[in-house]
Structure 1
Amino acid sequence: MRVAVAAAPLPGLSAGAVADLVRRAWLGRRGADALDVRAVSDAAAVPYATSGVQGMLGATTQVDVPGAAGRRFAWVGADRVVLDYTRSPAAPAGTAGTAAIGRDLAWAARRRPREIVAVLSSFAAIGDLGAGMVGSLSGRPLPRSWTPGLPLPSDMAGRIAAARRVLRPSHLTVFTGGPQRLLGPTGLARAWTRRGMAPALAQEMERALGQASAAMAAASADADAQTGGDLLGAEDLVRGPYAGAGGGAAFGLRIVGARVLPVREAVAVALEGWASQADLCLYVSGAVGESPPGGLDAAVACAARRAVPLVLVCDSASLQRSELARLGLNGVYEIRPGRAFDDAPETPATAAGMAGALTDAVARVAGTWGWE
């Protein structure tokens, strides 16, 4: 039997470690099978692990970002620098949160890579829409007290133009797990009401985000005249499907010239030829909530092209059986059943048990799906 495995990070385990554990667990149950195991990423916040985008893109050398508040890392390789913000703490009030992103980008740009990659969770604490990032990247920081709803500095267009020049000639790419709009019924404020934010506060936040995004989009249009050409349309900036990723940081990153892409596009490249000879495909990911894992769509497409069954092995899931067909899955196995409904936080002790639980889950799949 030939099995194709795509392994994303799990709590306490890198994608590479997950891949190794899956290989050993499967072959321990079915030693004659042939496995094609590849490390991928869902561009999600994973406790005690990175997002996995770094390894998937070949940026495997970890380096300290000098001058960072606290200790932060970047990953370099293949003429690329990767900055992972999926596990960044909740953004503080004011511009301090994304200002750190601007300093990181300026450091990365000085290395003159072909590409700078930033990784954002699709859902995160609401921040300053990247205004602090624009300020620190341009060398003209905004007041730390600025928040959406307050007037922008009169020279914001000049700051945006200067920030774009700092990044040249590197290309800036942002990967995020999936869609998160900035405004409207599927916007950030609405998303936070589903997680307990008071409706009155959410309405106020929606209004502030709308005012700030309109002002920043107008400043971006003015900056286009300074940097040459119509870089981005204001409508596309504000209403794009990924503008709210990273708590709105993706919106500001687009303003300075980033492409914002779903991580499934990178996963699709990593999985080229993955299912071509397979009898079964396996996708391993973290907890599955109201949205499927960021890279799963790419695996579903690969398996569907070859009419190969695809099984999801996830940390935990709140999926109903009726949803499996809609997602293109032939089965779901939970590593830690019920964890999706447990509000207890992940700790080093609970993450330490992941390796054993994953081994047991993969052995169950191998025993169920084997033909002999």
Structure 2
Amino acid sequence: MGHCHGTSRRRSVMRVLLACSPLPGLTGTEVAELARTGWLAQRPADRITAYPVSDGVSVPFVGSGLPEALLKEPTEYPLGRADSRRFAFRAGDTVVLDYSQFLNDAPATGALQSSMAVGEDLAWACANGAKRIVVALPAPGYCTDMGLGMLASLADVRLSSGWTATDPVPFALAPALERAAEVLSDVDLVVLASGEQRLLGFSGVARTWAYRGMDPERAQEFSRAMGAVAQDVSEAAAARANTRPLLPLHGEQKTDRPERGPFSGAASGVGFILDSLGGRLMSVGCATVSERLREEARLTDLFVYACAAIDESIPSGLQAAIELASAAAIPIVVIYDSGSLRRGELPRMGLDGAYQLRPEEAWRGVGRQREYAESGDDVAVTGTRAKLPGDELQERLWSVTGRVARTWGWDA
């Protein structure tokens, strides 16, 4: 007697790499665990490796996620006064200083923003025995002193808090650079930028400020002034190192001009000054994704990246993940909170799929963020709160991750 055979297909075991940056109200670790369990609910036999990562941008209620991505069980230290509070995160002899929110004011306000706090925090880390300091900077950020407040603080020279790059520099740069470099001489200084931003040029900081709302004439004034300060800093750094000037003095064009480097405009010039002091500039994605997940990517069948909103540029961590996936010849899909990705753009970006969690936020995000901010007061006053984004995103993340598993899962 013959036997009838069903048409069911056996599932193949997949190796899936999940890299998860924070979502509003959810840390990267929480996103990674939700995505992992959401996938396994659909394909329990697959081998899932999940990591918290960061794009270097501040996400509502959770920050950038850099400390948890770079450090294991860090200790938090409050720094500064109540009106300028920021935090250092330490594990072993490594300290992370995250300015993704602190130096990211809106240029349209016209307010002054000093970098002196960065110098104070670096000096604190050195005095407390740090051997490796990671400084995270927004791109372009908003800092009207171009990093010279930080330099003055490290070198212990006087600079008024209201000084901007449009004013004459009131101290000698070469000895200030020498003293600041001495303070940092015993540490490995790593400077992370949330994205590419040149200090000068057609895509320089001042032009980005104008695009984001600064008065065009004021932005042009900053552009000219930043160019002059960059020239002076580079000549002083060259004199200190007894080498030829890094900037051309008579129209010579060079490709290694530091003020036009891809991350020189991080925090509006703080990156450029830290480069002059021996810091190693790189993208956040390089540190949290490329350096940590390169070997994992070579051993996986599918790369899934989760992140918050995607606006006019690809987040740093996602860009690094795309490059890893391309090098390993594996597909990569992104799960993101909200944004404006179009399906036709995905191949050009190097993506094989994109899944949006809250498409409605691309249209009502500003008003919703104001509602979220006010809900914090509700907690303090009444002990209750409005529904926060993390509550909603947990459900959607679980559902969408399951959909990705069903779509991309292999069947034998």
The question of a shared fold, defined as TM-score above 0.5 by the shorter chain, is answered with: yes
1:104 corresponds in structure 2 to 121
1:115 corresponds in structure 2 to 132
1:17 corresponds in structure 2 to 30
Q: Which sits farther off after the overlay, 236-245 or 128-137? A: 236-245
Q: Which amino acid aligns with 1:332?
A: A
Offset of residue 265 of structure 1: 2.1
Question: Is structure 2 residue 319 aligned with structure 1 residue 297?
Answer: yes
**Residues 1-372 of structure 1 mapped to structure 2, 5 A cutoff:** 1-69=14-82, 70-88=84-102, 89-90=104-105, 93-94=111-112, 97-222=114-239, 224=240, 228-230=241-243, 233-234=246-247, 236-266=257-287, 267-344=289-366, 346=369, 347=372, 349-352=387-390, 353-372=392-411
Q: Deviations over 1:40-98 (max 9, x none)?
A: 1112222222323323322531221444454322111242111011111528855x631
- Calculate percent identity across the aligned residue pairs: 39
- Distance in structure 2 (CA, Å) of the matches to 1:272 and 1:231: 37
- Distance in structure 1 (CA, Å) of the matches to 2:178 and 2:363: 46
Assess, with a 3 A threshold, how the Cα gap between structure 1 residues 202 and 264 changes in structure 2: closer, same or farther: same
Offset of residue 169 of structure 1: 0.7
Q: Which sits farther off after the overlay, 326-335 or 239-248? A: 239-248
- Distance in structure 1 (CA, Å) of the matches to 2:303 and 2:272: 35
- Distance in structure 2 (CA, Å) of the matches to 1:280 and 1:99: 44
Unaligned runs of 5+ in 1: none
- Distance in structure 2 (CA, Å) of the matches to 1:168 and 1:68: 27
Offset of residue 250 of structure 1: 1.0
User: Are 1:127 and 1:247, in contact at CA under 8 Å, matched by a contact in 2?
Assistant: yes
Offset of residue 276 of structure 1: 3.1
Q: Which amino acid aligns with 1:278?
A: T
Q: Which sits farther off after the overlay, 275-284 or 195-204? A: 195-204
**Structure with bigger gyration radius:** 2
Offset of residue 99 of structure 1: 0.4
Q: Which amino acid aligns with 1:335?
A: L
Offset of residue 257 of structure 1: 2.1
Unaligned runs of 5+ in 2: 1-13, 249-256, 374-386
Q: Which sits farther off after the overlay, 240-249 or 196-205? A: 196-205
User: Are 2:80 and 2:86, in contact at CA under 8 Å, matched by a contact in 1?
Assistant: no
2:251 corresponds in structure 1 to none
- SS of 1:278's equivalent in the other structure is coil
Assess, with a 3 A threshold, how the Cα gap between structure 1 residues 129 and 332 changes in structure 2: closer, same or farther: same
Assess, with a 3 A threshold, how the Cα gap between structure 1 residues 101 and 122 changes in structure 2: closer, same or farther: same
- SS of 1:281's equivalent in the other structure is strand
Q: Which amino acid aligns with 1:213?
A: A
- Distance in structure 2 (CA, Å) of the matches to 1:17 and 1:234: 46
Assess, with a 3 A threshold, how the Cα gap between structure 1 residues 4 and 318 changes in structure 2: closer, same or farther: same
- SS of 1:157's equivalent in the other structure is helix
Q: Which amino acid aligns with 1:86?
A: S
User: Are 1:68 and 1:100, in contact at CA under 8 Å, matched by a contact in 2?
Assistant: no
- Distance in structure 1 (CA, Å) of the matches to 2:307 and 2:316: 9
- SS of 1:205's equivalent in the other structure is helix
Q: Deviations over 1:79-138 (max 9, x none)?
A: 2111011111528855x6310010000000112222111001223124211110011112
2:376 corresponds in structure 1 to none
Q: For this pair of structures, how many residues does the alignment match?
A: 367
User: Are 2:100 and 2:136, in contact at CA under 8 Å, matched by a contact in 1?
Assistant: yes
- SS of 2:298's equivalent in the other structure is coil
- Distance in structure 1 (CA, Å) of the matches to 2:402 and 2:92: 36
Provide the aligned C-alpha RMSD in A.
Answer: 2.3
Q: Which sits farther off after the overlay, 116-125 or 354-363? A: 354-363
Offset of residue 333 of structure 1: 0.6
User: Are 1:281 and 1:311, in contact at CA under 8 Å, matched by a contact in 2?
Assistant: yes
User: Are 1:288 and 1:317, in contact at CA under 8 Å, matched by a contact in 2?
Assistant: yes
